[in-house]
Amino acid sequence: MQENNSKMSCKVPLCKADIGEEELNAVREVLASGWLTHGPKNKEFEEAFASYIGVKHAVSLNSCTAALFLALKAHNITGEVILPSFTFSASANAVVTAGAVPRFADIDEETYMLDPKSVEALITPKTEAIMVVHFGGQAGPIKELKELADKHKLLFIEDSAEAIGAEYKGEKTGSFGVGCFSFFPTKNMTTGEGGMLTTNDKKIAETVALLSAHGIPKSVNPPHVGYRSAVMPGYNFRLSNILAALGTVQLKKLDAMNEKRRVAAAKYNNLLSAIPGVVTPVEKLGRKHVYQMYTVRVAKEKRNKFILKLKDAGIEVSVHFNPPVHLQDYYKEKYPTNLPVTEKIAEEIVTLPMYPDIREEDIAYVCDIIRENIA
């Protein structure tokens, strides 16, 4: 029997990277230079990114996971790290693989980010760090969490994978603690694969750079040609010169791309606010939301059918995140916990298409299909 291809075709993708001639030219230039591994474009990208975020140092890496992992390793964190379970597993994986212990806190029902009261209740003498995960393009409760971190002398890590360019009271995410960023194609800017760590601590930046490159520093006066001596056991987490070139161009376009996302979100909000049974995102006072994702919530008993109806209409949707980390196979056995708000949100949330160049008619189409299928 022939398949119904109309149901299989995609009319509105979930996400789409904004790649143009400038990016293609930048990559061509690097390819022509022959310098394909870590090189001059990395330095240019790092300096521009640090300036954009408002910090002294930025270290380019091959992923946000590497940034999170090295943030912990460079600070010698081996105790407990408090973080949300409502996140991609990479946040927790970095904690475990770095040799630390994850402690999952519950989230705020309005923003889907760490609830400071839940965090405070988990702080013990074993706690060494708090990791806030900025969700979907909006900063978390930085003031309250930073105060807790400072009070208890804890490392403050910002998982800013989903919030490049987001602001909290006029300051960029990633400037309040150790910032960790992702340049995966779904993010607000992309290098394909890639990440960045930001810090105001020169020693930490140098340690992260060393760890990311096998623990081998560049020798000023080497005893012979080809001399390479590791000063610590390291890893290979470097970003290539090719991808750094792509990043330098994307960074220049970031604010414009983020503004397009904000405009698209406003259109979604306007259309969906008139549809009963759909909970739209909230932008908290004093925060600039850059909508890496546009998520809505529907009743859990309706969600699966709701998702299938949208997919049948050619609309790519996803769920971020279900199951939450504490209910995933490895973590539920090793770190059992009860997080009622996290579990409620995970059963209701749906991610709709969002990217800088999403068309107004596509947003209208998505909202029409939702209106027809929410009952």
Report the catalytic residues: 187
C-alpha span between 95 and 77 (Å, rounded): 9
C-alpha span between 105 and 119 (Å, rounded): 6
Q: List b or e across 318-339, with b for residues whose CB sees 16 or more CB atoms inside 10 angstroms.
A: bbbbbbbbbbeeebeeebebeb
Antiparallel, parallel or unpaired: β 101-105 and 195-199: unpaired
Question: Quick one: tokens of 337?
Answer: 């916990």
Which amino acid, 111? T
Residue 155 is inside which H or E element, if any? Answer: strand 155-159
Q: List b or e across 199-225, with b for residues whose CB sees 16 or more CB atoms inside 10 angstroms.
A: beeeebbebbbbbbbbeeeeeeeeeee
Give the position of tokens 């949707």: 317
Q: Could you give phi then psi for residue 332, rounded to 5 degrees?
A: -70, -25
Residue 290 is inside which H or E element, if any? Answer: none
